[in-house]
Structure 1
Amino acid sequence: MTDWIEWKGGSRPTEYEVEVMLRNGVRSKNQSRCYDWRHFGTDVTDGDSDIIAYRIHKESNH
């Protein structure tokens, strides 16, 4: 999967390794369980680190 999936907060959407795009423009790759998938909003300091989009980076062989 190469297309970005818009994310508006909530429970972790997958168990796979993902690449995420944060509200502040930073991109990161890691296991999905390593991220906080909730949204804090744009009116708080932590809101800059909200995940706004993700894509599955590598599917597991499990």
Structure 2
Amino acid sequence: MLALAALGAGCSSGIQTPLPDLRPSGSTAMSHQQQKEAVDELNRLRSTHEQDAVRTIEESR
């Protein structure tokens, strides 16, 4: 068991690849109003999606 722990510790010290920073940056955060507008826009697009798809198919014929 001790040998396995030593082997694992030896392998981990050789990893030099830095991990990416996955935290959201402060500059890309949306305000509450921007979030509401984005959600409203997505809901509007969702409600007209089927009609837009039918129109696109009909126009392509």
TM-score by length of 1: 0.17
Of the two, which has the highest radius of gyration? Answer: 2
Q: Which has the higher strand share?
A: 1
Higher relative contact order (CA 8 A, sep 6+): 1
Which one has the bigger helix percentage?
A: 2
